[in-house]
Amino acid sequence: MPANKQIHLDNRPDGEAAAGNFKLVTAETPALKDNQVLVRHHYMSLDPYMRGRMNDSKSYAQPQPLGQVMQGGTAGEVVESKHPKYAVGDKVVGFGGWQEYSVVDASQPGALKKVDTTQVPLSHYLGAVGMPGVTAWYGLVKIIAPKAGETMVVTAASGAVGSAFGALAKARGCRVVGIAGGPDKCKYVTDELGFDACIDYRQHPDAKSMSAALKEACPNGIDGYFENVGGYIFDAVLLRANAFSRVALCGMIAGYDGQPLPLANPALILINRMKIEGFIVSEHMEVWPEALAELGALVASGKLRPRESVAQGIAAAPEAFLGLLKGKNFGKQLVKLI
């Protein structure tokens, strides 16, 4: 069986995450038992939620165990199978983690999913047509529930979740405003993703300045907000929110290093009778087929053109992940393993 390079969480971060928290190891791949398949990973997904799991503290996901493979989404192909429904060469997505191979019990519901790579590239099944895309879909459709003509705002607009959110909201007749870091990302958001406007948060480093930029970009106020960041940007959005506006609370990456993120003016939630709902997409598996069908069609038709940042080789994963937390990636962050 092939030797399998893996990245383990070696120790927990104290404050900011660092490369020294991770360890590269080589493991033997065990022989397959009945109903198991061996998957050779082509791509590994890097996602912001992984930072929260590195801490041994109360979060929505169980902490990542020390001395074990970092958990995460993978896309690859079956290279050996002892399951009747999976053949060598099948392209699959799963949760194989930060390693080159995984042994999967394919009889477990949801452990592995076959995908069609004729119209959608394999890597997109970890981004636009995968968990990030469904995250955008759930927040927009089930929590914000937009009406045509309403104004939607999303942070991290050039990323895997934000770009899908924009395409889905435009398909529902909304005005869509993104927030992203730097002129290149903002240009991509408006020119290639078709947002109506994009605000560069680096030009607006506090709530007052950001609120003024939002007022200009959202002349009719904000009806729906998809939050990935938290901090002063959330404060600025609350200042521009309309009565009965809705917030889908997906992530608070500004606070992942452990400091709490206070809200400056929570009374605005009451004044505007706002709905704010946090959610975890893996708790809503029932919507995945519907969401993935719409997202796949948007990608195949060219209405959603996702961007990817690809690091090469498993050893590059920790630095690519730390870069993601600082916004160095452009679009979905992946590691290519083959």
Is residue 213 predicted with pLDDT exceeding 90?
Answer: yes
- Show contacts of 281-284: CB within 8 Å, 24+ apart: 281/131, 281/134, 281/135, 281/138, 282/131, 284/138, 284/142
- Decide: 64 and 71 in contact? Cβ < 8 Å: yes
**Contacting residues for 100 by C-beta, under 8 A, at least 6 apart:** 2, 4, 5, 6, 40, 41, 314, 337
Among residues 204, 236, 201, which one has the least CA distance to residue 221? 236
Q: Report in angstroms the alpha-carbon separations of 125 from 29, 89, 204, 233, 296.
A: 25, 17, 34, 30, 9
| pLDDT value of position 220 | 98
**Integer Cα distance of 279 and 290 in angstroms:** 18
**Integer Cα distance of 272 and 255 in angstroms:** 25
Residue whose token pair is 């169980």: 62
Give the pLDDT confidence of 61-109 residue by residue, as tens digits: 789 999 999 999 999 999 999 999 999 999 999 999 999 999 999 999 8
Instruction: Supply 249's token pair.
Output: 């609370």
- How many other C-beta atoms lie within 10 A of the C-beta of residue 99? 24
Residue whose token pair is 């009945």: 34
Q: What's the chain's average pLDDT?
A: 95
Is residue 332 predicted with pLDDT exceeding 70?
Answer: yes
| pLDDT value of position 60 | 65
Among residues 131, 177, 170, which one has the least CA distance to residue 148? 170
DSSP at 315: G
Is residue 249 predicted with pLDDT exceeding 90?
Answer: yes
**DSSP string computed for 269-309:** HHHTT-EEEE--GGG-GGGHHHHHHHHHHHHHTTS----EE
Is residue 258 predicted with pLDDT exceeding 80?
Answer: no
Give the pLDDT confidence of 42-56 residue by residue, as tens digits: 999 999 989 989 998
Measured CA angle at 318 (ends 76, 138), to 5 deg? 60
Range 194-211 average pLDDT: 98
- Decide: 240 and 215 in contact? Cβ < 8 Å: yes
| pLDDT value of position 254 | 79
Q: Categorize the per-residue pLDDT at 148 as very low, low, confident or very high, splitting at 50, 70 and 90.
A: very high
| Assessment of whether the complete model's pTM goes beyond 0.85 | yes
Is residue 17 predicted with pLDDT exceeding 80?
Answer: yes
Tell me, what amino acid is at 128? A
Among residues 184, 194, 141, which one has the least CA distance to residue 163? 194
Range 139-162 average pLDDT: 97
